[in-house]
Structures are given as structure tokens and as C-alpha cells.
Amino acid sequence: MTSRLEGDAAIIYPKGYLNNLSGESLVIECGIYIGKGITKIIVNFSETDLINSIGISMLLQIMEDLKNIKGTICCTNMSKFLRDTFEMLGLIQHMLVFPVESDALKYLKARKS
């Protein structure tokens, strides 16, 4: 899992199958940024093919953590499978979804101004 900071937003790139292990790393990575005072997180799913129920649970955890600090989560570059899964679960209504990372960054910047 890699991540970077762009302005006041953290961008995280989970890799492969989002399950127990990678899901926990995602939660930890987000936790580190939240601990540093970052409230805007972009999860770029371009390198994520699949997600299971544990991965969903981890994502819920991040959404909950950000909600508690009035933060924002943006999801970008989702495959059709991922998007369909989030839609079917009704999860998509509780997150901001953008086709690509740059759109999410633009949105967050605009919201700031």
C-alpha cells in the first residue's frame, strides 16, 4: 500500500484484493493521516481488483473515523466490479465518488476555497 500527501489531502492506493490484511493496512494508513490532523482522504482504487466483506467492513471503519472528525472520504478510479458492489450495498450514497483522482482533488480544493 502506498500513499502521498497532496496539499491538505492524503491519497491512498490500496493494492490487489482488499481483504483482511490489505484492509487492515488501509485502516492503519488512514489512521496515521487522521492522527496528523488530515481530514480529507482520497482512496484511489486503480490497483484494487476485488473486495470482500472484511474489506467492506474496513472501509466502513474509515468512513466512521472520518465522520467522527467531520472529515471527507473520496473514492476514485474504481473498477466496474467495485462500483457495482458499492452500489448494490448502498454504500455509494455515503461516499464521494469520482472517476479519477484529479477530479477528487479539484473538488476538495474548490470546497476549501
Partner 1 sequence: MSTKLEKALYNISALADLGQAITSENDFHEKIQSLLYVITGTFLANKGAILFYDKSTNRLNTSTQKGFAQADLDRLNPEELMSLGRNEPCLIGNDPVLAVAGAEVLAPMWVRHDFIGALLLSGKLTVGPYTPGDLELLSVIANQIAIALNNHTLFMDLSDKLEDNRRLYEEMRRIYHGTLQAFAAAIDAKDAYTKNHSHRVAKYSVAIARELGWNEHEIEGMYVAGYLHDVGKLAISNALLNKVTPFTPEEREEIRKHSTLSHNITSKIKFPWKNVEDMVWHHHERLDGRGYPDALAQESLSDGVRILTLADSFDAMTSQRPYRKKMDVQSAIAELRKNLDSQFDNKVMLVFCKVLAKEIKGELPEPDILPHLDRDSDLSVITDLLEGIIAELSTP
Task: Tell the smallest beta-carbon distance from residue 49 to partner 1 (Å).
Answer: 14
> Following DSSP, what letter does each residue of 2-56 receive, concatenated?
EEEEETTEEEEE--EEESHHHHHHHHHHHHHHHHTT--EEEEEGGGEEEE-HHHH
Task: Tell the smallest beta-carbon distance from residue 54 to partner 1 (Å).
Answer: 4
Nearer to partner 1, 17 or 103 (CB): 17
Task: Tell the smallest beta-carbon distance from residue 30 to partner 1 (Å).
Answer: 15
Question: Beta strand 2-6 with 9-13: parallel, antiparallel or unpaired?
Answer: antiparallel
Contact set for partner 1, span 70-89 (CB under 8 A)? 84-85, 88-89
Q: For residues 39 and 84, give the distance between their C-alpha atoms in angstroms, rounded to a whole number.
A: 27
Contact set for partner 1, span 31-70 (CB under 8 A)? 52-58, 60-61, 63-64
Q: Directed axis angle between helix 53-68 and helix 20-35, to 10°?
A: 10
Where along the sequence are the contacts to partner 1 (CB under 8 A)?
A: 19-20, 23, 52-58, 60-61, 63-64, 84-85, 88-91, 93-94
